[in-house]
Structure 1
Amino acid sequence: MMLARTEEDLLNTRGHLIRAAVSIALVGAAGCSAATAGSGVPGPAATVPASPSASASGPAPKGQSTGRYLVFYAEGKREAALKAVQDAGGELDGGDERLGYLIARIGDPERVGADPSVVGVTPDRPIGMASSALAARRAPAPAPAGHRPGVLPSGGQGPVKPEPLAHLQWDMEMIGATATGSYAKARGKRSVLVGVIDTGIDATHPDIAPNFNKELSRSFLPAGVSSAADGHRGKDCGRTGCAEYAGVDGEGHGTHVASTIGSPINGLGIAGVAPDVSLVDLRAGTDEGLFFLKPTMDALAYAADVGIDVVNMSFFVDPWQFNCTDNPEDSPAERLDQRGIIEGMRRAVDYARRHGVTLITAIGNTGIDLGRPERDGMSPNYPKGAAKVRRIDNSCITVPTELDGVISVTAVGPSGNKAGYSDYGLEQADIAAPGGDLFDTASPIVGVRRGILAAAPESVLRAARRIDDKGNPRDASVVRDCRGGTCAYYRYLEGTSMAAPHVTGVAAIIIGRFGVPGKGGLTMDPAEVERLLYASAMPKACPAAGGSGSGGRADQVCEGGKRKNGFFGHGIVNADRAAVISR
């Protein structure tokens, strides 16, 4: 589930995660087919070929081999797990030895899960792709070669002019990503590969195209389906991904995230935190904004294999907001499902980190202390109508937010106060960044401009009727900038989804400064990137008397000191300081 918020959410259901990310004014992923031949991208090693099959939306009835599952086995127990599948009447349908799981058609997942060799059994849920309305836009136009006129050479330093809409980017001013700040010192490099696991990136957007890396971009959604409800029909993109539909974003969330990270300095619209990096589309989110386990794991493993330097993850893995390994209020099959999600993502995260990928995620938008959760009323969020209210405790975790090795980002509004919707926690919060906050009355900024402005696909805005037939925005939530016959669109969003890419951009600046030649371009130890992120952040203490979030959220209590606390982690990320920090 994507972690951005709508105006309706703000006004009516403040504090709860939403199911889809749209603009503050209620502005409304594509799939894939066979990978491009001869791409030169290395394929996965030690994988088991998988054949297409029907997908399960939940545990299959006992005795009916209609469900497709991911069966995670303990280290060295593959053969024992395979025997457990076969003994239960199941059929092997693939797998991945590096992440330690089988893909199998199983009629009795509980029987398989009871075997001591098995640590989790998770349905391989249906995955969506571009709707039929987007069919004509599946193959994006080629991105322009290099930077647009007026852009300094990649990795260069020196004075630059502010972008035309820079005056609307309070977020960049807050973190020092300005013409007189980090842009004049370090802006990342073309050899820094930034992966965006999201709903896609609009590669044709004029303020993204110059930095879009078409060669490495992939979709990890199976081909031939139009929505999550349709199920699998066609090629499973698997660990190598499908290239054909990369560069398309039918929802807009991923485009906004990518723009905040790396929109170029080109005399049009805005600039991102690291305007000279390469943006790689790692599509794993459905049209509905759902992120299921297998495509998310596939995207992370692919990022590791091809040398991606840093990955942004502004979502949690569906369908469980909180994953509990042994909650008595869940059925045995549900417990197996959640164990599989935790274990599968833990293995994918570990694999990526071992291969030099720095991992950054949005912490979440429920406005709660993740160290003291008590209730989950929105899980499972798929299929529709399956959610139930259940009691939970701190043994239950959000994924990937609470996994070791992942940098979790809280959100602040334009005043620098923690946004009331942002989750927090002394253990869970690592760093803070601008995410926007419509209720931040401590700021002189008013209205929708309290959100984060970044790129929006024109097609999404037209479909949602946020622009008229002549291309004019219908309200203040959408901004258009036209220069030299080229027009580009931008929209305001808020959420921890918007905070995380600011940190990802600063990580890219650090890698551009200190990375060494490696697979894909540069490489740098994720632990060292993390250390410099925290060292260059601006420390921020808890509000007085323990403090509360914005918007009168007195129920939110900040714990910890100035150097590390539950609202701001190690402080608010700072691009200008990262551009000059020494190791």
Structure 2
Amino acid sequence: MAAPLALAVGGGLCVAAPAAEAAPAACDTTSTPYTYVVTYQPGTRASAVEKELAAKCGTKVAYYAEIGVAIASSRNADFQQKIGVYRAYSGAKDVASAARTSLSAVRTLEDTRSVAAAGDLSAQQWDMKAIHAPEANKIYQGSRAVTVGVLDSGIEATHPALRAAVDARSSAGCLTGAPDTAPEAWAPTASDHGTHVAGTIAGKDPAAGFTGVAPGVRLASVKVVNDAGYIFPEAAVCGFVWAAEHGFAVTNNSYYIDPGMFYCPRQPGDAAAYEAVRRAVEYSTRRGVLNVAAAGNDSLNLTNQTTDKNRPHPLDASCAILPGMVDGVVTVSSVGYAGTKSYFSNYGKIDITAPGGDPFQEPKEGEGPECPLSSVVGGGYGAKCGTSMASPHVAGVAALLASKFRGAPPRFINQLLESEADAVKCTATETECTGPAKNNSYYGHGVVNALDAVR
């Protein structure tokens, strides 16, 4: 700091006071507010978090001290810069500030095809037969002590196949980044994606002949998909922490964090989103949750990308789709009726595979549509394709294993999933498929097997 000026006044010496520092600019009170994830050292006191946020024109929405992640709201365009560009990120602001078409977080390949519920639908569930779920159901259907969190667009709890499974007390909406247990906060409003996923995991409707993988377990609806189809980091963080703190054994995550698809831990903004989600996933894993995630539907080699088509920025080996590429998450690719990789399925970093359908792999007459059949909003049934549909098959089998081995750590359940999977070799025409039958880039350790999980 420069020394104060010495001035001669009336033959004496006096010291002029230093110039006053400029008052901080007033916070913006009129612009659109955006929600941010903000990282802190884990264990930082909530009072310190609130003080910093207020000083930098933000307000606390939620704070997860165990992982040092705050959810904050601010109207200030420079809030991220005030906090630090490596500590704060807003997916919604990123979307609003860029000229881009709306991205759908659901990312299924087809709109839902309605299926009449008359008669016995079991004959049309070729996907369940592919993983030996009908035989497994005759032996064991899972325990009511096991809860699977469906982090998705909400579950229709009144659906005939789901009303016995959905646990309202364990359900919450996480769209703001803070859990809301009001039923309307976790119910579907704009998408039947979560209801479809839920049916695959634990649906059971004897009148329609429909049965999911583990109809004996409970489901929790954890809503992370907003009505525009986005899953922002704050919603996922809330969902994983909720799962950790409510004793879920498994979560299913048929999405990737928007507006990605890749987040890079060494890039501004990305670093905060990456770290916030990574910490939340790691925390849930430490608390006994096995997290299962879809690999994605862009026919990409996840380990060999240099650009992000959704949000152009350079990629390196540290960049990842979230949450599927976070350590400890079971990443699931998709196969169609013929048992080969769905044309759309991502590959490269794959742990296991399951039926997600393929419009080009047509089932035999009477065995159902090309895409897996499951519950949809309105009490009906429909077919959807995608790795989003493959992932809940694995989550269902994981729930059977968690039921059989109560209290077993996630790593143990994951090891059983992999060791009991049915190996799938790369074919001569699958030139991008590399690795042995029991661990390759298309199918991971193979097709998940429900029967082996229960016997």
TM class by smaller structure:
0.7 to 0.9
Q: Bigger CA drift: 91-100 or 311-320?
A: 91-100
Q: CA deviation at 1:322?
A: 1.0
Matches within 5 A, 1:74-223: 74-75=41-42, 89-94=56-61, 95-102=63-70, 103=72, 105=74, 107-109=77-79, 111-114=81-84, 119-123=86-90, 125=92, 164-178=120-134, 181-222=135-176
Q: 1:402-438: per-residue Cα shift (whole Å, max 9, x none)?
A: 101110000000110011100000xx10000000000
C-alpha distance in 1 between matches for 2:271 and 2:289: 24
The ranges of structure 1 where at least 4 consecutive aligned residues each deviate by more than 4 angstroms after the TM superposition are: 61-68, 75-87, 443-448
Cα distance in structure 2, aligned partners of 1:439 and 1:391: 33
The match for 2:377 is 457
**Distance (whole Å) between structure 2 residues aligned to residue 68 and residue 202 of structure 1:** 27
Q: Is the aligned partner of 1:325 residue 2:246?
A: no
- Checking the alignment, whether the CA contact within 8 Å between 1:311 and 1:357 is kept in structure 2 is yes
Q: Aligned pair in 2 of structure 1 residues 289, 575: CA closer, same or farther (>3 Å)?
A: same
| 1:194 CA drift (Å) | 1.1
Q: Which residue of 1 aligns with 2:332?
A: 409
Q: Per-residue deviation at 1:104?
A: 5.6
1:358 corresponds to 2:290 = yes
Once the two structures are overlaid, the 10-residue window that deviates more, 71-80 or 167-176, is 71-80
Distance 1:113 1:445 in 2: 60
> Cα deviation per residue 1:4-25 (whole Å; 9 max; x = unaligned)?
xxxxxxxxxxxxxxxxxxxxxx
Determine the C-alpha separation between the residues in 1 that align with 2:66 and 2:44.
Answer: 13
Aligned partners of 2:167, 2:339: CA distance in 1, in Å?
34
Asked whether the equivalents of residues 142 and 403 of structure 2 are also in contact (C-alpha less than 8 Å), the reply is yes
Deviation at 1:110, TM superposition (A): 5.1
**Residue 281 of structure 2, aligned match among 346, 349, 352:** 349
Q: Which entry has the higher C-alpha Rg, 1 or 2?
A: 2
Corresponding residue number in structure 1 for 2:105: none
Please report the RMSD computed on the Cα atoms of aligned residues, expressed in angstroms.
Answer: 2.7
SS at structure 2 position matched to 1:567: coil
TM-score if structure 2 supplies the norm length?
0.81
1:419-498 map, 5 Å: 419-425=342-348, 428-440=349-361, 444=364, 449-458=369-378, 488-498=379-389
Mapping for residues 199-278 of structure 1, pairs under 5 Å:
199-222=153-176, 238-239=178-179, 241-264=181-204, 266-278=206-218
> Which amino acid letter does the alignment assign opposite residue 213 of structure 1?
D
* C-alpha distance in structure 2 between counterparts of 1:167 and 1:120, whole Å: 52
Change in Cα spacing, 1:99 to 1:186, as seen in structure 2 (3 Å) is same
Describe the shift of the 1:390–1:446 C-alpha distance in structure 2 as closer, same or farther (beyond 3 A).
farther
- Partner Cα separation in structure 2 for residue 285 and residue 338 of structure 1: 20
Distance 1:445 1:391 in 2: 47
Q: Which position in structure 1 is the counterpart of 2:39?
A: 72
Task: Show the counterpart of 2:299.
Answer: 367
Counterpart residue type for residue 536 of structure 1 = E
Q: Secondary structure at the match of 1:215?
A: helix
Matching residue's letter, 1:192:
V
Give CA deviations for 1:495-535 in whole Å, capped at 9, x if unaligned.
000000000000011111111xxxxxxx3311111011111
Deviations along 1:164-187, whole A, 9 cap, x unmatched?
A: 111101111111011xx1011111
The CA distance in 1 between the partners of 2:52 and 2:249, in whole Å, is: 38
Shift of the 362–446 alpha-carbon distance from structure 1 to 2, 3 Å rule, reads farther
Q: CA distance change for structure 1 residues 363 and 123 in 2, over 3 Å: closer, same or farther?
A: same
Shift of 1:447: 11
Asked if structure 1 preserves the Cα contact closer than 8 Å seen for 2:372 and 2:389, the reply is yes
Return closer, same or farther for 1:273/1:418 CA change in 2, 3 Å cut-off: same
What amino acid is the match of 2:40? Y
CA separation of 1:200 and 1:324: change in aligned 2, threshold 3 A: same
1:238: how far off? 1.1
Report deviation, 1:82.
7.2
How far apart, CA to CA, are the structure 1 residues paired with 2:153 and 2:43?
Answer: 35
How much does 1:112 deviate?
3.6
Secondary structure, counterpart of 2:207 in structure 1? coil
Q: Which residue identity is paired with 2:264?
A: C
Residue 394 (1) aligns with residue 362 (2): no
- For the structure 1 residues 337 and 430, does the alpha-carbon distance in structure 2 shift closer, same or farther, using more than 3 Å as the test? same
CA contact (8 A) 1:64 1:108 kept: no
CA contact (8 A) 2:124 2:368 kept: no
* Residue 101 to residue 251, structure 1, CA distance change in 2 (3 Å): same
Shift of 1:70: 2.5
Hey, what does 1:286 align to over in structure 2? 226
Distance in 2 (alpha carbons) for counterparts of 1:345 and 1:566: 25
TM-score by length of 1: 0.64
Task: For residue 336 of structure 1, report the CA deviation from its aligned partner.
Answer: 2.8
What's the CA shift string for 1:208-235, capped at 9, x where partnerless? 112221222221235xxxxxxxxxxxxx
CA offsets 1:325-348 (integer angstroms, 9 cap, x no match): 34xxxxxxxx43211111111111
Query: What letter corresponds to residue 567 of structure 1 in structure 2?
Result: Y
Q: How far apart are 1:394 and its partner, in Å?
A: 3.0
The Cα of 1:395 is off from its aligned counterpart by: 2.9
Q: Distance in 1 between matches of 2:389 and 2:223?
A: 17
On the 8 A contact 2:124/2:366 being kept in 1, the answer is no
- CA distance in 1 between partners of 2:160 and 2:251 (Å): 22
Helix, strand or coil for the counterpart of 2:359? coil
Q: Percent identity?
A: 32
In 2 relative to 1, CA 241–416 (structure 1 residues): closer, same or farther, beyond 3 Å? Answer: same
Pick the aligned partner of 1:576 from 444, 447, 451: 451
